[in-house]
Structure 1
Amino acid sequence: MMSQNYTTIDNQNDSGSVPSAVPDPGHLTVKFQDSTLQTFPPSEKQGKIACGALPPSDLVQMNPNEVVADILFTMTLPTLQALLGSFSVFLFVLVDHVHVVAANRGCFGVHHPIKHHKPRFTAGPWKQAHATFYEGGSGTFGGACGYHDVVQEGYGLETVALSNALFNNGLSCGACYEIKCVDEPQWCKPGKPILTVTATNNCPPNWNQASDNGGWCNPPREHFDIAKPVFLNIAEYKAGIIPVTYRRVPCQKKGGMRFTITGNPYFNEVLVWNVGGAGDIISVQVKGSDKLKWTTMSRMWGQRWVTGAKMVGESLTFRVEASDRRHLTSWHVAPKTWQFGQTFEGKNFR
């Protein structure tokens, strides 16, 4: 302690004793358990590095007031203890101040995952094929894909049955195509209008007829059997069979993807329909709000997916994967009180 005169805050002279000045600590050495200590500017005092990190590669000798890393704290010595209990850091010590540089964001436990968004489905190249038409009604054009009524389910009559070469054992159900009549001026409609259709059925082989004489859907032919009401938009029905060019295109659907649940408590069946983007679903998972964990469903046929897992009594979330490998999760689309026979609307691909 030492005595001296001093001035109070209100500018009155007074006298008394004040503590002696604290000696300048100079450089300070701080020891970490399995950690690194290095002074800056560099000196011979070094240790081990925590988190397996190294000093930032762009760290150079600097002015004490410069900001040289992602996170930089400047503080006086009395507050250092609280910081050291929370972070693994590099320290470099200057007179009167300690500059703390975060060695690695990972040491803070802060992680910002980078989301990789797959590009939207785009139209493919034009290819050669042939097309015919078949009679039927709205309740028959969705047979092999499992759709109930293509008109009520939003597909309209702009539907098509695919030959086995395109049907892919039902995985192509829901895919969309542009088709136009070519090379037959007698039968093609003027201007070669483009017909956009959704795959909702299968055109099976006819082994009793040759591929070029009635067996139009026999492998390996790529063939479209179009619903008659819309076949007439691109060609005259008297043509019978026409040469066409076609390409896959993104499906433009109104509203969200639909999930229709049928079956019973021991055999749950889900029909996935009104799918945008690529249109065809190749994988479906379901998760409940309680005991049902993520469960991969099996494809029964077309776009009907089944599981024996107990789904009743839980709010349901569906995760689907399209043929372009894009995923979409519709959270809690079905409430806990859902019933068999009901349809629920989720998100949709664009």
Structure 2
Amino acid sequence: MEQGRSAPIPFNILLAGKHLAFPKGMDILEDLLSSSFSSLNWMQMPMLSCSMPDSDCNFCGSQLLTWLDANFTVSKAVYYPNSDAKGTETGACEYGAFGATLNNGDVSASASLYRNGVGCGACYQVRCTNPYYCSPSGVTIVITDSGASDGTDFILSQHALAGMGQNKDAGATLLNLGYVGIEYRRVPCIYPGKNIIFKITESSHFPYYFEFEIWYQQGNQDIIAVQLCEIVNLTCQLLSRTHGAVWAAVSPPSGPLSIRMLFSSGAPHGGSQKWLVPTSIIPQNWTAGATYDSGVQVQLQ
């Protein structure tokens, strides 16, 4: 046995009154559990039915492996009132009507994941943990607002909360419960056929004040910095995030413009960073309220 490595976990163990069985051929579980068995929070493990014939088996090895490898965080969720088909148009990310219908209305507020606006547009897989009503996959939501309620990490749209159900009736039951146990993880946003879009806000005033949002950001990285460049003289200025998903420049450069975005993996140690440069420009005579296609998109790994 390697130094520092704990003893292998037996094929069958009795844990917290639950019989845990490992099917043959799942030797990977030995390595996975032997290194981290003592640190696992078994009380947070979802109740899963076992496909094995043993009626006492509450956890099946293959299901356990999925759970261990999923990197989910346990929390609670509630939902917005009056949000059957969409989210709020007044979210802190300032997406407006776009944010209400983004991702088919599967959106959410979150105080902990809002991160002073850095979290705007991030996607999360959220699934409830009641085995009688909840589907294994749950829903993918987009953060469009900041908010918390009674210790929750998510205030989902009504459409998103019901979408976690196994079927329509189960979704209705979840809505009746109103407050449900969940687990969640960050996942890549996917917008097939769409490039990143720059939305010039109505608060902009040509040529003195240039304010915009970034729409349809794919992947699971954060935009941590933005440069506004005048492409004729190649002069750039670093912009400030004013609030939510909104970036702004006072006295912006004149001439055709390029908005360059710095993406970060967000890893605390050695996280990668990369600038993304649009292939399309914003015209010199830009207008408030207009949208401009960047011509580029984050490539999914």
- TM-score after normalising by structure 2: 0.63
Report deviation, 1:310: 2.7
CA contact (8 A) 1:269 1:306 kept: yes
Q: Deviations over 1:305-332 (max 9, x none)?
A: 01113344x1111111223133211144
Is 1:317 matched up with 2:258?
A: yes
Partner of 2:121: 174
d(CA) in 2 for partners of 1:252, 1:291: 35
Q: Which stretch shifts more, 191-200 or 284-293?
A: 284-293
d(CA) in 1 for partners of 2:89, 2:222: 17
Q: Deviations over 1:146-168 (max 9, x none)?
A: 10223687432011111x22221
Report the identity percentage.
26
* 3-state SS in 2 of match to 1:253: coil
Q: Select the structure of larger CA radius of gyration.
A: 1
Partner of 1:282: 224
* 3-state SS in 2 of match to 1:150: helix
Q: Deviations over 1:116-150 (max 9, x none)?
A: xxxxxxx9721111111112454725610010223
d(CA) in 1 for partners of 2:235, 2:82: 42
Gaps of 5+ in 2: 1-68, 165-170, 266-272
Partner of 1:259: 198
CA contact (8 A) 1:270 1:305 kept: yes
Over 3 Å counting, the alpha-carbon distance change for 1:151 and 1:300 in structure 2 is closer
Is 1:339 matched up with 2:280?
A: no
Partner of 1:132: 78
Is 1:348 matched up with 2:297?
A: yes
d(CA) in 2 for partners of 1:322, 1:155: 22
Is 1:215 matched up with 2:163?
A: no
Report deviation, 1:228: 0.3
CA contact (8 A) 1:177 1:196 kept: yes
Q: Deviations over 1:239-267 (max 9, x none)?
A: 11111111101110131001112311222
Partner of 2:154: 224
Determine which of 91, 96, 113 is the counterpart of 1:148. Answer: 96
* 3-state SS in 2 of match to 1:143: coil
Which residue identity lines up with residue 340 of structure 1 in the other structure? Answer: A
d(CA) in 1 for partners of 2:136, 2:285: 51
Which residue identity lines up with residue 142 of structure 2 in the other structure? Answer: T
State how many pairs are aligned.
209
CA contact (8 A) 1:139 1:148 kept: no
Over 3 Å counting, the alpha-carbon distance change for 1:244 and 1:153 in structure 2 is closer
Q: Deviations over 1:15-53 (max 9, x none)?
A: xxxxxxxxxxxxxxxxxxxxxxxxxxxxxxxxxxxxxxx
CA contact (8 A) 2:197 2:215 kept: yes
Gaps of 5+ in 1: 1-122, 205-213, 218-222
CA RMSD of aligned residues (A): 2.4
